[in-house]
Amino acid sequence: MEYKIVGAKRFIAGAVCPQCKAADKTITFPINRFIQSEENGAVEIEDEIMACVSCSFEQSKLELSLSAQKIPASPAEIRPLLVRDATNKEG
Ligand SMILES: [Zn+2]
């Protein structure tokens, strides 16, 4: 997936990576990326990436939401529940 990072990376407190099962290694950050629209061609949208710093796991929150709900979701409504500054060291 190609995207442009548009905001700060933040750790998701208490999150466990679904791929490597590492705790507190999952980060989230806002992005802009292009999707193919049948009507308008390439359209830039706001999305959010959930990624793991311990492995190569990467998941678009928008795609995750769409696959879970099967209905269109507004990216503006997708917000992490618990975040903390990624620059903070553990402890
Ligand atoms: Zn991982």
Beta strands 58-60 and 41-52: pairing type? antiparallel
Instruction: Count Cα neighbours of 87 within 13 Å in the Cβ-side half-sphere.
Output: 1
What predicted TM-score, i.e. pTM, was given to this entire model? 0.67
Ligand 1 midpoint to CA 15 (Å) = 10
Ligand 1 midpoint to CA 42 (Å) = 31
- What are the boundaries of each domain within the chain? 4-77
How far apart are alpha carbons 40 and 12 in whole angstroms? Answer: 34
Ligand 1 midpoint to CA 25 (Å) = 7
pLDDT tens, per residue, the chain with 91 residues: 789 999 999 999 999 999 999 999 999 999 999 988 899 899 999 999 999 999 999 999 988 888 876 655 556 665 666 666 667 665 5
Sign of the Cα pseudo-torsion (25, 29, 33, 37, in order): positive
pLDDT for the residue 88:
60
Ligand 1 midpoint to CA 41 (Å) = 34
Kindly report the number of other CB atoms within 10 A of residue 1's CB atom.
10
Ligand 1 midpoint to CA 22 (Å) = 6
